[in-house]
A and B are shown apart, each in its own frame.
Chain A
């Protein structure tokens, strides 16, 4: 069991794209040799911003709901486990249905695999590998009190909306304190510009990326 007071927090604002989590993930014994974490550039041509995605461990996991073989179980501690090998028929329903795009099909094993919060570690008093090694604290595993103390500028949110589907998750996403919406509207966020356009040019404030504002910082507007 993963103790109730320990929680997983993602803070994409802190992510530096180093891929430590990706490497460390594959060193965990429940999925040795395979990384279950997704880490991608949002738009490398325009920004160095990256987004780490672990399984959000939904309260009502869509992956389990669409599984025809009843192979995906959510344990009482709220961790949504990887598919059980004897049951999984590798139909890919979960891969297609997960709103966060987390499960991966392993064609060699004919098995769906996904992040299980390093269950061998997290159920034995250790942190998941990714949240252990993360150099920037973008992935954090600890108590609510710790995160409140360490991250006074942010607050956790665990409700997401995808169109008409609303999802509550065990894993928390850190968002700017005081600016936290009731839920993260993922579709709207994907359609918007993640570049802080409209803010005062040339100046991030710790949340607004400076990437797209670069030209205004040059002495000559950036021309050669």
Chain B
């Protein structure tokens, strides 16, 4: 049904991605802006402060926000150029309906008519196939208000259990691991603890490219004498001058963590008193890591034994430390085990919950934290509550004024929703803030499942690659066209401010959702007049939960430069550092700082297993994927910003000169990567900064340049995160340029 209605080139011609450059008033040096709006960047989880320059109701530039909490004026190239997404020629200004006879395959339609059509299709599908036959896919770049509303919309208005979000691709392994070990899922420490640490351990985090301003925190630690340890298959910019670099073989992180813990125990570099008083489960873990001798660890990880010993000693002897990790250890079919291994190392050291003693995952998306707390996950209700827990259901149902028994149960993860399409269980889909055709693994499968849907409605501000399969597209809002809160990388709730109104027929996303609810004849609970009203309900719905926002107000955020949750009461200042001695939480109720009834943290056995798809004679290389500094996620926005495209125009295959020589590939040659899912021809980039048995390709591009057509859809059994970071591949020199060369612009 929902195949793209026109050839890709026709759709691109009409809807982009085209590149926007500064021109006109944006190049006017003498411009006197009408106002500067203090807000935050729309891209990553660091949420750097920025002031948007507004002239004649258009965002025309930016001015650094020097007093911004956390970032103090700093911005990466994406932040500097983010203003170019406004007034973009590709912007959707009306609703669209699929029409193969129209230029680009879509014809404009009236907004009300479009909403009515969406409601009618939802009604028809749910009537014929049951409520769960309509699914909702959402995203972690939405404000917390919108994320909360999406969860409520799915459960209350649609009554479907099938809602999940793109954080499934992002933070869920860390979240699951943190909940198992600490009972709560949030950065344990604010970033201000990083410069106070003696050792900073960075595993699987390309800090300089994916969280650029965190670099300064790490360098500041180094200025104070800290040792920096980096674990990565590539020498990333943060690794270039580190004190110790561990070039781990992709997918073997847990082996390294177990090996380090083995040496910590052997050399008695552990905090016995902390382990005794504040944790449970150490003995079992100690027993488990006994077999992880340096020799065995070296064999599994591909890191020299002497390097492993040196890392263990640096980490083991430290008096203070901060361990950071990101998708590099989390994007695995055993991502949760990797995270647990890292946490075991932290717990054994006893260095957590104090100044200069910290641990955190580096959350990826703008609202990666807030977006994973309040109910758009398939198994979750607001406040970080569990949808399967009767008490939790009752608490939220009361705020929503609905019957708890009427709330659906847990649904399935974002990828499984597509498998449910294949099984014929899911027939209709609404997506917002998610571009799964680019961002999910084995994405040709995803495209086929989109084609199988009876009805698909996408809400977006640009026609992203997934929305090309839609029956109806509703024009949503850009970040600067709405207000609300997000919770950034440290767990600090901050305020996004509106700079300009939506253009044309575009609407703020929460209004669109409420309009659909009204058209369905179920407006109850969806009559908010502004985001503040949604936030106030969210505060009540989260009260008493683990992610407690009850005492947070827009005014307090403004006054304090953000509020760290938990913040359970009006007179509570918030909690920058979790797990401090004597701290109170709603689970332990004073028994201890961790979120379990006994207040103690959990050691968990972290079991090693190789990647789901290991190398073999046919596919002898490990393919790993990731990001570049100038692009963000699936590129819906950043592939439309000209200066960012120019910085790194197209994906390239990074490979080591030794491998290149073996395969007869020179720098700049066209080369073809193949996996069991497909093939992709790109230019080669021959560098010594990568393991010779690994090739790397960034994933921000679509269509024939999309590496996620090749990645494996194996998932972690607990978190359901896909294994983006390793699959088996082979590489060869291409006989000539691929078909797309010369037909597509770099960003297309």
Contacts and interface: CB of A to CB of B under 8 A. Distances in A.
Interface of A: 13-20, 22-24, 26-27, 29-30, 32-33, 44-50, 127, 129, 132-137, 150-154, 202-212, 214, 216-220, 222-224
B617 to A, nearest CB: 13
Contacts of A13: 241
B672 interface: no
Given A23-B80, A219-B305, A203 B243 contact: yes
B76 interface: yes
B626 interface: no
A219 B688 contact: no
A203 B244 contact: yes
B29 A217 contact: no
B686 A45 contact: yes
A216 to B, nearest CB: 7
A211 B235 contact: yes
Given A18-B76, A152-B224, A223 B692 contact: yes
Contacts of B150: none
Contacts of B321: none
Nearest to A219: B298
13 contacts: A18-B237, A23-B81, A33-B27, A45-B687, A48-B689, A127-B73, A150-B223, A151-B223, A153-B223, A154-B223, A202-B307, A206-B222, A210-B240
A134 B80 contact: no
A27 B64 CA distance: 11
Interface string B237-255: 1111111111100000000
A15 B307 CA distance: 26
A140 to B, nearest CB: 10
A203 B314 CA distance: 13
Contacts of A216: 304
Nearest to B305: A219
Given A19-B647, A20-B80, A133-B74, A206 B304 contact: no
B692 A222 contact: yes
A47 B76 contact: no
B213 to A, nearest CB: 4
A29 B298 CA distance: 55
Contact of B643 (A23, A153, A223): A23
A47 B657 contact: no
Nearest to A24: B80
B583 interface: no
Contact of B247 (A22, A27, A217, A224): A217
A214 B689 contact: yes
Contact count band on B:
35 or more
Contacts of B208: 16-18, 135-136
Contacts of B74: 132-135
Residue in A20, A135, A223 with the greatest tally of chain B CB atoms within 10 Å: A135
B293 interface: no
Interface string B24-39: 0001111000000000
B302 interface: yes
Contacts, number: 182
B192 interface: no
Contact of A204 (B245, B688, B691): B245
Contacts of B238: 16
Given A136-B215, A219-B301, A220-B302, A207 B241 contact: yes
Contacts of A212: 688
A208 B242 CA distance: 8
A27 B80 contact: yes
B305 to A, nearest CB: 7
A19 B647 CA distance: 8
Interface string B154-181: 0000000000000000000000000000
A45 B73 contact: no
A37 to B, nearest CB: 12
Shortest Cβ-Cβ A-B pairs, 10 listed: A16-B208, A135-B212, A16-B237, A136-B215, A23-B80, A29-B29, A135-B213, A32-B29, A133-B75, A210-B245
Contact of A202 (B76, B304, B643): B304
Interface string B676-693: 000000000011110111
Contact of B303 (A18, A129, A217): A217
Given A26-B643, A33-B22, A153-B223, 7 more contacts: A16-B629, A18-B209, A133-B74, A136-B208, A204-B243, A218-B691, A220-B302
A211 B75 contact: no
A24 B219 contact: no
B422 interface: no
Contacts of A22: 77
A46 B27 CA distance: 38
A209 B74 CA distance: 25
B190 to A, nearest CB: 18
Contact of A217 (B64, B245, B659): B245
A47 B216 contact: no
B580 interface: no
Contacts of B303: 217-219
B228 interface: yes
Interface string B207-232: 01100110110011011110010000
Contact of B299 (A203, A204, A219): A219
B595 to A, nearest CB: 33
B240 A49 contact: yes
A219 to B, nearest CB: 4
Contacts of A20: 75-77, 79-80, 212
B284 interface: no
B456 interface: no
Contact of A137 (B216, B240, B620, B630): B216
A224 B245 contact: no
Given A48-B237, A206-B241, A136 B219 contact: yes
B236 interface: yes
B249 to A, nearest CB: 9
B61 interface: yes
Contacts of B271: none
A142 to B, nearest CB: 12
Nearest to A208: B241
A49 B75 CA distance: 20
Contacts of B304: 202, 216-219
Contact of B66 (A48, A132, A202, A217): A132
A127 B687 CA distance: 36
B355 interface: no
A205 B310 CA distance: 13
Nearest to B22: A33
B667 interface: yes
B398 interface: no
A49 to B, nearest CB: 6
B182 interface: no
A212 B688 CA distance: 7
A6 to B, nearest CB: 14
